[in-house]
Amino acid sequence: MDPQTQNTSLQRLQNVENRVVKVLELAGGVMEELASPSGPKKEFVNSHCREFMQSMKDIQVTLREEIKSACEYRPFEKCDYNAGIANEICFQKLEYVLTQLDDLKQTADRYTSSD
């Protein structure tokens, strides 16, 4: 993900954040209307509920796209980094095994020389 794509992604996520705030305000408006002493206005509640549901769907679609995009981002996929690290780990393991074998040989030599 290059810096331009990353900025665009962050901007889309910031827009989602703003839409979430708007959705919460819509829900709060409906709650206030439902608690109204004169009773809720059906048209107001219906229009706000429709807008709420549509906004939730839009938010969900945008978040799915961002998650999919983030999952496709693999910066080290085409480089030797993983192979190099795996090679270094194997090398360290081999050095450890050789050290242990040397220690084992010395112990065996001491045991046989004490006979």
Residue 52: both structure tokens together: 């709420």
pLDDT of residue 95: 86
| Residue type, position 18, single letter | N
Could you list the pLDDT tens digit for every one of the 115 residues in the chain? 555 666 687 888 899 899 999 999 999 999 999 999 998 999 999 999 999 999 999 999 988 888 887 777 666 566 677 777 888 888 888 888 888 888 888 888 887 777 5
pLDDT of residue 38: 92
Location of structure tokens 């979430």: 20
Q: What count of residues does the chain have?
A: 115
Q: Confirm if 30 and 48 have CB atoms less than 8 A apart.
A: yes
Neighbouring residues of 58: CB distance < 8 A, sequence distance ≥ 6: 19
Q: Confirm if 23 and 59 have CB atoms less than 8 A apart.
A: yes
pLDDT of residue 103: 84
